[in-house]
Homo-oligomer: A and B are copies of this chain.
Amino acid sequence: MPLAWRAVDLEDALRAGGHRVTTARRVVWEVLSEAHDHVSAAEVAERAHRRDAGINVSSVYRTLALFTELGLARESRLGDEATWEPAHGDAVVHLVCERCGRVLHHPATAVDALRRQLDDDADFVVDTVDVRVTGHCRRCPR
């Protein structure tokens, strides 16, 4: 996954929405793309800061909010702080380990079934489905 085309994606997405391409947005996008799991705003800010010391926390929040709105990122509220990850089309099952705190993804096809069931049964128009599973990794380091 070369950064090049990802970067192009970003610029297109921004321009398409009439937004400007700025350093802060580019850096936050890089950090987010390179993260292997969910990252908090503080983590993004810290990593972004390492690349460009001028980047501020509030810009990180504003940028992440923008990305979420544009469908580039996905926000989760799994613990007491929000976390973000690059958007992906997969049904989202988050396995939250209560020992090590890590958040794993799991590709459960049952989520699709659930979604279909909701579409049919409920008096509710479904937008997103998030599954949060608590427990612990079977071979948890702690």
Binding site for B on A (CB under 8 A): 77-80, 93, 95, 97-98, 104, 106, 108-111, 113-114, 116-118, 121-139
Contacting pair B118 A125 (CB below 8 A): no
Give the contacting residue for A135; candidates B78, B125, B131; CB below 8 A.
Answer: B125
CB-CB under 8 A from A114, the residues of chain B are 93, 108, 110-111, 113-114, 131
Give the contacting residue for A95; candidates B80, B113, B122; CB below 8 A.
Answer: B122
CB-CB under 8 A from A104, the residues of chain B are 124
Contacting pair B109 A117 (CB below 8 A): yes
CB-CB under 8 A from A97, the residues of chain B are 124
Known interface pairs A110-B117, A113-B113. Does A135 touch B130 (Cβ–Cβ under 8 Å)?
A: no
**7 pairs of A and B residues whose beta carbons are closest in the complex:** A110-B114, A127-B135, A130-B132, A126-B135, A123-B138, A110-B117, A127-B134
